[in-house]
Amino acid sequence: MATTLSALREHIDATPFVDTHEHLLEERTRLAGPGAHRLQPCVDAALLFCHYAKDDLWSAGMPAVEQERFFSPTVDPADKWAILEPHWRRARHTGYLRAVAESIRLLFGIEHVDSLRFVEVSEEMSRRARPGFYRRLIHDVAGVETCQVNSLETTFCETQYPELLQQDLSLIAFSTGLDRSILDNFGQLSGLPTATLDDWHQVIEWAFATYGPRADAVKSQAAYQRRLNYAAVSAEEARPLFACLVKGEPLTGAQRQALEDHLMRFCIDQAEKARLPVKLHCGYYAGSDRMPLERVRQNAGDLCPLLADFPRVTFVLMHIGYPYQDEYIALAKHYHNVVVDLCWAWIVSPLACVRFVKEFLLAAPSNKLLTFGGDYATVENVVGHAAVARQGLAQALSELVSEGWLDETAAHDLVEPLMRGNAHQIFPIFASHHT
Ligand SMILES: [Zn+2]
C-alpha cells in the first residue's frame, strides 16, 4: 500500500495538470499594486488569504474590524500575524487554509508561519513579483501546463499570455441580471443598437464572433443569482419583456426569469455553433452568510432539461456540485454530454473529493472527469491548491488499488488522462492549437 501510494504520488507529481478554472488577475493588474482589483486589496502575505481563506477565518469568528486591518495595504505586515494567528489556529486544517500553507511551504520553504516568517513571505512576494513571474509559478512550481481563466476583470480578457492563460467567454452580461448600463456598455463595445431583443441577439452573435474563436469555453455563474431551471421561452414571449427592460419598466420575478431563460438558451445555441463547451457553476457558494442551500440542492435536477435539449453541447458542471456531488456522478453517467469538474472542490472539502473521485471512476466513464482548477485570483495560491489536488488524487487512486477495484497498472494509466488528457479531448481549443 505504501509503495503503491508513493509510486502514484511520484507519477502524479511528474505529470502536468491542465488547470480548467481560474480567476487569475492579469499579471499587469497584479503588478499595478494594492487596490488594482477588489480581490487585491494588499500585496503582502495577507493577499494569500484574500480569496477563500478569508471566508473560513470569518466563519471561525474573525471580527470585521480585524479583517479590515488584516487586508489593509497600510497596516505593517509585521503587525498582521498577531491579528491572524488566533483565527488561523481555529481554521488551519480546512482545505482553504491548507492551500495557503502549502503555497507558503512550496514557494518559500516555510513549514510553520509566525510573525517573522509572515514578514519574510511578504518581502519575498514583492521581490518575486516581476514581469514573467506568472509563467514561472504556474509552469515550474505549480506543475500546470495551461490555465483556463474566467476573468473577473472583463467579459473576455485580452490577456498578455494567451498560451498560458486561455480565456472563458463569460455569459453573465448577456443573460443574467441584464440592465440598462450593461446594454449601453455592449452597445458601445460592439457599435450595435440595443433597443430590441433582436438587437441584443445580434450583440450576442457579435460577442461570439469576436471572442469565440479565441475562447476555451463559455462560462456562467448564474447559480449565484437564480435556479438553473432554464425553460424554453420563445423570442415572441421574450420580446415584450426585453422592451420593458429597455424602457426601465419593472419586471416581476417570473418575467425576469423568463427573459433570462430565453437569453441563456440563445447563448447556449451560439456556444453549440461555436463548438464551445458550456461551463456552469454548480453547488457551493464562495463568500459568507448568503448561501440558499435549498436552491443549491436543486442545481443538478434543474439542469436535466437543458442537458437533454442541447445534446451536441458539452456541459462542464463545476465544483462537483458540492455538497450534492453524488447527483453529478449520476448526471455524468446518464447524459453523454456531461463532464464534471473538480475545480475549486479540493479546497472546499478535500476528503469529499477523494470519495468523489473513487465513486466517480467506478460509476461513470473516466474521460468525463476533470480533476483540477485552482479557482483563484492570486497566482501564488495555485501552487498550494495544485499540491492539495495531487495529494487527494494520489490517495483516491491508491485506495482503489488497495481496496481491490483497480490494479496498479490501471491506476497509473488513469493519471495522464485525469490530469491533462481529458481536458485536451474536451476543449476544442487544444485541437485548434496544433493545426
Ligand atoms: Zn470560480
Domain edges within the chain: 44-128, 133-177+212-226+276-433
258 Cβ contact partners less than 8 Å away, ≥ 6 residues apart:
231, 233, 237, 238, 241
Decide the pairing of beta strands 315-318 and 338-341. Answer: parallel
Answer positive or negative: Cα dihedral of 315, 318, 321, 325.
Answer: positive
Give 52 Cα–ligand 1 centroid separation in angstroms: 11
pLDDT greater than 50 at residue 243: yes
What percentage of residues in the chain have a pLDDT greater than 90?
98
pLDDT greater than 50 at residue 435: no
103 versus 3: the higher-pLDDT residue is: 103
Give 277 Cα–ligand 1 centroid separation in angstroms: 16
What local confidence, expressed as pLDDT, does residue 434 receive?
45
Give 155 Cα–ligand 1 centroid separation in angstroms: 14
Query: Which tens digits make up the pLDDT trace of 315-324?
Result: 999 999 999 9
Average pLDDT, the chain: 97
Give 281 Cα–ligand 1 centroid separation in angstroms: 7
Query: Which tens digits make up the pLDDT trace of 81-116?
Result: 999 999 999 999 999 999 999 999 999 999 999 999
pLDDT greater than 90 at residue 314: yes
Give 96 Cα–ligand 1 centroid separation in angstroms: 14
Give 221 Cα–ligand 1 centroid separation in angstroms: 8
Report helix, strand or coil for 17: strand
CATH assignment, 133-177+212-226+276-433: 3.20.20.140
What percentage of residues in the chain have a pLDDT greater than 70?
99
81 Cβ contact partners less than 8 Å away, ≥ 6 residues apart:
113, 114, 115, 118
Give 23 Cα–ligand 1 centroid separation in angstroms: 6
Give 375 Cα–ligand 1 centroid separation in angstroms: 5
What local confidence, expressed as pLDDT, does residue 158 receive?
96
Give 327 Cα–ligand 1 centroid separation in angstroms: 20
Give 22 Cα–ligand 1 centroid separation in angstroms: 6
Sheet of strand 369-370, all strands in order from the earlier edge strand to the far edge: 17-22, 144-149, 165-170, 215-220, 278-280, 315-318, 338-341, 369-370
Give 148 Cα–ligand 1 centroid separation in angstroms: 11
pLDDT greater than 80 at residue 244: yes
Query: Which tens digits make up the pLDDT trace of 51-87?
Result: 999 999 999 999 999 999 999 999 999 999 999 999 9
User: Residues with Cβ within 5 Å of ion ligand 1?
Assistant: 375
- Residue 3 — very low, low, confident or very high, per pLDDT cuts 50/70/90? confident
Give 340 Cα–ligand 1 centroid separation in angstroms: 14
d(CA 374, CA 138): 11
Contact indicator for 385, 343 with CB cutoff of 8 Å: no
Give 390 Cα–ligand 1 centroid separation in angstroms: 19
Contact indicator for 180, 287 with CB cutoff of 8 Å: no
> Quick one: cell of 97?
487554509
C-alpha distances out from residue 264 to 248, 319, 427, Å: 21, 20, 21
Give 334 Cα–ligand 1 centroid separation in angstroms: 25
Give 41 Cα–ligand 1 centroid separation in angstroms: 19
Give 73 Cα–ligand 1 centroid separation in angstroms: 25
Cα angle 165, 170, 176; round to 5: 160
Give 3 Cα–ligand 1 centroid separation in angstroms: 35
Give 241 Cα–ligand 1 centroid separation in angstroms: 30
Query: Which tens digits make up the pLDDT trace of 249-307?
Result: 999 999 999 999 999 999 999 999 999 999 999 999 999 999 999 999 999 999 999 99
d(CA 353, CA 368): 15
Give 125 Cα–ligand 1 centroid separation in angstroms: 24
For residues 112-137, give the mean pLDDT. 97
379 Cβ contact partners less than 8 Å away, ≥ 6 residues apart:
24, 27, 30, 133, 134, 137, 138
- Residue 362 — very low, low, confident or very high, per pLDDT cuts 50/70/90? very high
Give 244 Cα–ligand 1 centroid separation in angstroms: 32
For residues 398-403, give the mean pLDDT. 98
Q: Which of 13, 53, 28, 45 is nearest to 376 (CA)?
A: 53
pLDDT greater than 80 at residue 155: yes
- Residue 121 — very low, low, confident or very high, per pLDDT cuts 50/70/90? very high
What local confidence, expressed as pLDDT, does residue 75 receive?
98
What local confidence, expressed as pLDDT, does residue 433 receive?
53
Which residues on neighbouring strands pair with residue 178, listed in sequence order? none
- Residue 1 — very low, low, confident or very high, per pLDDT cuts 50/70/90? low
Give 395 Cα–ligand 1 centroid separation in angstroms: 25
Contact indicator for 262, 238 with CB cutoff of 8 Å: yes
